[in-house]
Chain A
Amino acid sequence: MPKQKILIVDDDPDLKKGLNLRLRANHYDTVYASDGFSAVMMAQKERPNLIILDIGLPAGDGFVVLERLQKNAALATIPVIVLTARDPQTNKERTLKAGATAFLQKPADNAELLEVISAALDQPPGTMAQS
C-alpha cells in the first residue's frame, strides 16, 4: 500500500520540522508549505490525502486557505485538521464551519493527533464506508 501523503502548513520552521519527524516515523509521507498562498498551491500540485493547517499564517491565514480549498471541487474533499495555538473557544466552531474536519490546539498530544489523522484519513467524504 502506498504511503498516505500529508501536507503540513505552518510558518514556524521548528514546529514543521518536529511534526515532520513525528509523521514520517509513523509512516506518512509529508510535504509542506509556510504560508496561505503556497498551501493552496501545494494542495493543488501534490494532492495530499490530508492537510494539517495552522491558522496564523502569512499570505492568507488558515481561514482563507479553508475557503479556497472549499471553493475548489477537487480539493474540497481533502480532510483538514486545524492545528493551532489559538483559543478553541473562539476558533473551533469557526474552523469547522469553514470546512475543517477537526480542531486541535497546540501542543496537541501525539497519540491524539495520530488518532485524529487516521480517523480523518479513514473516511474522506465521498468514498465508501469500510466499516
Chain B
Amino acid sequence: MNSGRTNVLLIEDNAGDADLLRLRLLEGGSQVDVSCVDRLSSALAFVAQQPPAVVVLDLTLPDSHGPETFRRLHEQAPSVPVVILTAVDDEEIAVKAVQLGAQDYLLKGQVDGKQLARSIRYAVERQALLTSLETSRQQQLQFKDEFLSHVSHEMRTPLTSIYQFASILCDGLAGAVSAEQRDHLGTILKSVSQLQAMIHDLLEATRTQSGKVRIESHGMGVAEIIQQAITLLRNSAQQKQISLELEVDRSLPLAYADGDRVLQVLINLLGNAIKFTSEGGAIVAKACLVEIDPVFIYISVSDTGRGISPEAKPSIFERMYQAPEAQDTSRTGLGLGLYIAKELVELHGGRIWVNSQLGEGSTFTFTLPRFSLDKLLGPLITHQGLLRESLVLIQVEISSVLSTSTFRRKATSLRCREILQRCIYPDRDLVLPGLRNGVPDEIFFIVASTTLEFAEIMMTRIREQLVSSPELKTSGVFKVSASSLKLPSVEGEVQLEKLVLQVAEHVTAIVKLALRKPQNSNQISNPKPVDGRTEKRRMHAKAKNSDRRR
C-alpha cells in the first residue's frame, strides 16, 4: 500500500463486468487504485512484477477455469489476499477456492460498493494476520531447532568429561580399583551411554520433524546391514540370554536406501525387542521379497516379548510414546525410537507397521524400495517419449595405492563422487550410486546422455578437477575412459520403459564385470577406450535414424 492507497488488481475478462466493478470500487469511498487484466497469464505476470494489496478474481477466464484459476494465482503469490467473484450458480466453486486459501467471495450482480470495500479491507487484514502468524511460527520452530542443537552440544562436553575420567578410573589408569569399585564405575559408564543415546535421539527427532534429515540412497545389501545391527547389539542380547538370529535369502536383491539410516532403524527395532523380551527369549530378523509387492524388500524383527496391547498399537509410532508397563521397570529413553524409525523409513518411501498379540511377542515390519537402475535412469535418458539418441558410459577409476586406511579412502571416495557430481548435467547424466556396502568406491560410472565427442569435454573437465583437488592429488592414479552404450533397437511398437530397462540391464552387466575385476589392474577391457572416428560415424548414423523416428 503506497501513501494510504490500496492497489487492487481486478482479474475479469468480461469488459462490462470489469467496468462495473471498477466503478463500485471507486464509489466505495476508499482510496483505491485499480488495475485490470483479462487473462490469468497476464495476471500471473502482473503479480510477479508488482504484487497488489489485494486481488479480485473471476474464476472463469479464457485461459483457466474454476478453483484451478485460484490455485495457480495463489501458488505464484501466496501472500496476496484474494477475493473471488462468482456467478450465483457457481457458489460451490467459490467455496472450494475459499477452502484453498481465498479470503472471501462475492456474488456477481449482487455487489454494492460498500460491501466490496469491506470485503477487500477484511481480506487485506486477515492476510496480514495470517502472514504474521506464519512468520512467528517459523521463527519459533527455528528457535527450537537452534536451542536443541545448542543444548545437545553443550551437554556433550561435560558428558565427555564424565566418560573420560570414569573410564580412566575403570581401566585402572589412575591406580588399582577393587572389583566393587569397577562395578560402580561400570554403572556410571552405562548411564553415560544412555544419556548419549537420548541426546542423539532428541536431535534426530527434531531434525526429522523439520525435514532436515538427508537420505543418501545407494544400492545397499540388506543382509549385510542387518548383520551389522545384530553384531552391534549381540552383547546386550547375550546379557539377557536372548538369541538373536538372521534369516535372509542370500539371493535377495539390493535395496535403494541409505545404509547408515537403515542401520539406525534396525538398531531401534532390535533394541526395543531386546528391552521388551524377557530372559531366554528369541529375536529373529528377516528380510524377503513378497510376491504381491515386488518393488519393495520386506524387513522384519520378531520377538517373543510381552507384546503390545490393541489400545497401545495405534500410538506406538508417535513421538514421546512410552510403553505404560515400561515406565516402572526400564524407563530408559525418550520414547523417540519408533517415531524416528517411522520417519526414516518413510523418507525412503517405505512403510512400517507392527503385528502383535499381548503376551505373544511382536513383529515389526518395514519396507525399502528395491534398487532399480531403470527408475533412476528413466527421466535422464528419455526425452519427449523417446530414448535419447546416444548414451555414453564413462568410467572413472581412482587407485588409492598409497592409502590402506579406510578413513582416508572413504574421504577420497566421497570427494571423488562430489567432483563427478559437479562435472555432469544433473538433468541428463547420472553418477551411478555405489553398489557395495561400506566399501569406499574406487570405480565410478557415469551414464551421460551425450555423444562420445561431447563426453570427451566432460572427461577433460573431470580429469582437471580430480588432479587439482588437494585430497586426491596425493592418492595417485586416475583413469577416465568412455564407451558409447549400445542402444536397444526400436523396431515396431516397443514400450519406452522396456527400452530403459534394457539400457539399465546393459549398464548393470558392464558395471558388475568391472567391479569383479581386481582393483588397480592396468587392463580395463570393458568399457574400453573407443576409437573416436568409428564411433563418430556410428553416432551420425544413429542421429539420422532418430530424426526419421520423429
Give Cα A129–Cα B212 distance, bound, in whole angstroms. 40
In the complex, whether B203 has a CB less than 8 A from a CB of chain A is yes
Answer whether residue A30 sits at the interface, using C-beta atoms and an 8 A cutoff: no
- B214 nearest CB across to chain A (Å): 8
Chain B residues lying within 8 Å of A33, measured Cβ to Cβ, are none
Among candidates B156, B160, B411, B415, residue contacting A101 with C-beta atoms closer than 8 Å: B411
CB distance from A24 to the nearest CB of B (A): 9
* B153, B156, B160, B415 pick with most chain A CB within 10 angstroms: B160
Q: A22-B168, A93-B414, A102-B407 are in contact. Are A127 and B160 (CB under 8 A)?
A: no
Total A-B residue pairs with C-beta atoms closer than 8 Å? 101
Which residues of A have CB within 8 Å of B318? none
Q: Which residues on B sit within 8 Å (CB–CB) of A42? A: none
Binary flags per residue of B151-166, CB closer than 8 Å to A gives 1, else 0: 0111011011101110
Query: Is B463 part of the contact surface with A, judged by Cβ < 8 Å?
Result: no
Contact pick for B402, options A19, A93, A129, CB 8 Å: A129
Does B457 belong to the interface (CB within 8 Å)?
Answer: no
List A19-55 residues whose CB lies under 8 Å from chain B. 19, 21-22, 25
- Selecting from B180-188, B279-287, B323-331, B470-478, the interface stretch reads B470-478
Q: Which residues of A contact B475 (CB under 8 A)?
A: 125
Given the complex, which residues of B lie within 8 Å of A25, measured CB to CB? 168, 171, 173
Contact B470 A101 (CB under 8 A): no
A97 B415 Cβ-Cβ under 8 A: yes
In the assembled complex, the Cα of A63 lies from the Cα of B528 at a distance in Å of 42
Contact of B407 among A14, A85, A86, A116 (CB under 8 A): A116
Residue pair A85, B156 in contact (C-beta under 8 Å)? yes
Contact partner, B203, options A21, A87, A99, Cβ 8 Å: A87
Nearest chain A CB to B27 CB, angstrom units: 58
Asked if B153 and A86 sit within 8 Å, CB to CB, the answer is yes
Encoded as 1 (CB less than 8 Å from any A CB) or 0, chain B from 346 to 358 comes to: 0000000000000
- CB-CB < 8 A to B404: which residues of A? 122-123, 129-131
A18 at the interface (CB under 8 A from B): yes
Q: Would B402 and A21 count as touching, CB distance under 8 A?
A: no
Q: Is B408 a contact of A101 with CB atoms below 8 Å?
A: yes
A76 sits at the interface (CB 8 A):
yes
Is A2 an interface residue, CB under 8 A from the partner?
no
B401 is an interface residue with CB less than 8 A from chain A: yes
| Tier of interface size on chain A | 35 or more
> How many residues from B make CB contacts under 8 Å with A?
39
A18, A97, A106, A131: the one contacting B165 at CB < 8 Å is A18
* B204 nearest CB across to chain A (Å): 9
**Contact partners of B418 in chain A: CB under 8 A:** 97
Please tell me which one of the listed residues A89, A110, A120, A127 contacts residue B167 in the complex, with CB atoms under 8 A apart.
A110
A97: B residues at CB distance < 8 A: 415, 418, 471
Complexed CA–CA distance, A120 and B163 (Å): 23
- Asked if B268 is an interface residue, CB under 8 A from chain A, the answer is no
- On whether A120 and B407 interact (CB within 8 A), knowing A106-B160, A125-B475, the answer reads yes
Chain B residue numbers with a CB within 8 Å of A12 are: 157, 161
Mark out the residues of chain A between 65 and 82 whose CB falls within 8 Å of any chain B CB in the assembled complex.
Answer: 70, 76-77, 79
User: Which A residues are closer than 8 A to B by beta carbons?
Assistant: 12, 14-15, 18-19, 21-22, 25, 70, 76-77, 79, 85-87, 89, 93, 96-97, 99-102, 105-107, 110, 116, 119-120, 122-123, 125-131
Taking Cβ atoms with an 8 Å cutoff, the residues of B that contact A are 149, 152-154, 156-157, 159-161, 163-165, 167-168, 171, 173-174, 192, 196, 203, 207, 212, 214, 401-408, 411, 414-415, 418, 470-471, 474-475
16 A-B pairs (CB sep. < 8 Å): A18-B168, A21-B174, A22-B164, A25-B168, A77-B474, A85-B157, A87-B152, A89-B214, A105-B156, A106-B156, A106-B160, A107-B159, A107-B192, A123-B405, A125-B474, A129-B403
A sample of 7 more A-B contacts (CB under 8 A), given A14-B164, A93-B414, is: A18-B165, A85-B153, A85-B157, A87-B203, A96-B415, A101-B408, A107-B159
